[in-house]
Structure 1
Amino acid sequence: MATRTQARESVIGLLYAVDLGNDGIIKYVDDLLEDKKIRNKQKDFALNLFNGVINNLEVIDNEIQSHLNQGGLNDLGNVEKAILRLAVYETLFEKLDKPIIINEAIELAKRLASDNAPKFINGVLDKVKRA
């Protein structure tokens, strides 16, 4: 059975694809999660996260933008942006402990993003948490 970490990782991949302009992927979310063996409760969890981010994208992006020291959202790498969007969604809209959300985002950044991403993501999420 898939873990929540694996479900989040799949959601990051989906958000990444949407950000690159592949809006059609939304039709295939169920199939893509099934291919990654994300099923049952974890599939529901992943779908909730993905749909939550997509449905609240403007609020999430505004929140991220308000905590960037320099540059804008478009200056971020696509993977980093997907990780931040997911973590900010969870911070703002889900009833999970914020340290768990931040730690999960950092761990995903270590595996999926650039070398500087974990520190950067930690800094932005720390600001979001305190806001």
Structure 2
Amino acid sequence: MATRTQARESVIGLLYAYDLGNEEIAKFVDEILEEKKIRNSQKEFALNLFNGTIKNIEVIDEQIIAFITQGTIDDVGSVEKSILRLAIYEILFENLSKAIVINEAIELAKRLASDGAPKFINAILDQIKKV
């Protein structure tokens, strides 16, 4: 059985594809999650996260823009942006522990993103959690 971390990692991949312009990815979410063996309650969790993030992407991006200290949202890498979008969605719209969400985002950034990403992501999420 897949873990929530694996479900989140799959959602980040879907959000990454979406960010690169593949808006049709939403039609294939079920198949992609099945391929990654994300099933049952974890599949529901992943679907909720993906759909919720896409539905609220404008609000989420406004939060990213508000707390970027250098550059613009377009300067943020797609992987980093996908991790941030997911974590911000969870912080703002889900009833989950903010500390757990932030820790998960940092750990996923260590595995999936550039070297400076964990620190960058932590700084933005730390500001959002205080709002």
Which residue of 2 is the match for residue 66 of structure 1? 66
Counterpart of 1:34?
34
Q: For residues 96 and 60 of structure 1, what CA distance do their matches in structure 2 show?
A: 17
Match of 1:114 in 2: 114
Q: Which runs of 5+ in 1 are unaligned?
A: none
1:86 Cα deviation from its structure 2 partner:
0.2
Question: Which residue is 1:46 aligned to?
Answer: 46
Task: Indicate the RMSD between aligned Cα atoms, in angstroms.
Answer: 0.4
* Partners of 2:94 and 2:24 in 1: CA distance: 26
Deviation at 1:70, TM superposition (A): 1.6
User: Residue 103 of structure 1: CA displacement?
Assistant: 0.1
**Residue number in structure 1 paired with 2:3:** 3
Identity %: 70
How far does residue 71 in structure 1 lie from its aligned partner after superposition? 1.1
Cross-structure match for 1:75: 75
User: 1:24: Cα distance to partner?
Assistant: 1.2
Q: Any runs of at least 4 consecutive aligned residues in structure 1 with deviations exceeding 3 A, and if so which?
A: none
Structure 2: unaligned runs, 5 residues or longer? none
Cα separation, 1, equivalents of 2:86 and 2:75:
18
Q: Secondary structure at the match of 1:38?
A: coil
State the TM-score, normalizing by the size of structure 2: 0.99
